[in-house]
Amino acid sequence: MPPSRPDWVARPRLLAKLETNPHTKLILVSAPAGYGKTTLVTTWLQQQESMTICWLSLDEDDSDPQHFFRYLAETARPLPGIQSQLPQLLQSNQVIPAKTMMKALVYDLAAVSAPFILVLDDYHALDSSAVDDALATLLDLMPPQMTLIMTSRSDPGFPISRLRARGELLELRADDLRFTELETAR
């Protein structure tokens, strides 16, 4: 996780919006470059003292599902009680379908008893329908002790309307992230 910025303008209204209810599966922070998505999320996460945070910063090289899942497995490895089905699959010389790898990750994560957060920072950098489909599978199967946070410049390539309808999605968009007059004065 990147360090928080010392010159960050305090934005308690946004930090309060990030407080999730137990049904929230996905927190999507989506806005153009320069809106402070990562800064906001890191500042909020530093206040989550009882949560284990797994942070994965993405770039275009992570569009390859094998590459993506290697990093994802390594990111989740420190979780207490996590199983190791995904790392074992990744040792195979065969190409494994992304959904199969995601189901293995869900199995691994189900063994974690404490609440935790997985952050996928800069999700817009990925260009992979296989990873998009795998993340849709994760959102369908994810254990209740997990929350997924995505920062992105655009919506993910999987449908989020069902999550929105079920009250399982918390969204912060460009309109939310724009400075108020008071924040601009600060």
What pLDDT digit, counting tens, does each position of 66-82 carry? 999 999 999 999 999 99
- What pLDDT, on the 0 to 100 scale, is given for residue 53? 94
pTM: 0.93
pLDDT at 64 over 90: yes
Mean pLDDT of the chain: 91
- What pLDDT, on the 0 to 100 scale, is given for residue 1? 81
**In the beta sheet, which residues pair with residue 156?**
none
Helices (H), the chain: 12-17, 37-45, 65-76, 85-90, 98-110, 129-141, 161-166, 174-177, 181-185
Q: For residues 40 and 170, is the Cβ–Cβ distance under 8 A?
A: no
Strands of 146-152's sheet in order across = 52-57, 116-121, 146-152, 26-30, 169-172
Q: What are phi and psi of 118, to 5 degrees?
A: -110, 125
What pLDDT digit, counting tens, does each position of 1-57 carry? 887 777 777 788 888 898 867 789 999 999 999 898 999 999 989 888 888 999 999
